[in-house]
Amino acid sequence: MQFQVPQFIESEDKVVGPLTIRQFIYVGIAGGVCGILYFMIATWLWAIIASIIMGASISLAFVKLDGRPLLNVALAAINFYWKPQIYLWQSEQRQTKKEDHPGIGAAIEDIAAGMALHKSWEGLQTGTTTGTKISNRQITDRYQIFRKPAGDRNAAKRVDYR
């Protein structure tokens, strides 16, 4: 049994002549704006502004970079420059520490340091103290550590209604 398989599934439908609906909207809105501006401003200024508007709309309608429409590329570029970038720096101190103490001693030191840091951080987040003396004030805010479905650990303020 033979079946027909659609072949050009990534091409948009041509709705208005040779233009897709997206292309027609870009060019139509730009043409309308240029038509309105023709009656509102001087002819020499209109020619400059209309050429910029029509050039931008035609490039948005027809230009594709690596198969992606120009609008998607422009939005990705704006998001890249607008949102802050995160750069992670890993200290070389840990690498030299392991090289200075080869063998099992370095691993035990790393485990002990990590456990102490984890315990102190957990105590700081939950408001509990382990071996430290608190002055005459009592801690009224309690925090509880919870794990998100993705596995991230966060602390949230715990409220006890009595």
Q: Give per-residue pLDDT as tens, 89-105.
A: 666 665 554 455 555 55
Output 17-25 pairs: Cβ under 8 A, ≥24 positions apart. Answer: 19/61, 22/61, 22/69, 23/61, 23/62
Q: What is the pLDDT of residue 27?
A: 94
Secondary structure (3-state) at 145:
strand
Is the whole model's pTM more than 0.85, yes or no?
Answer: no
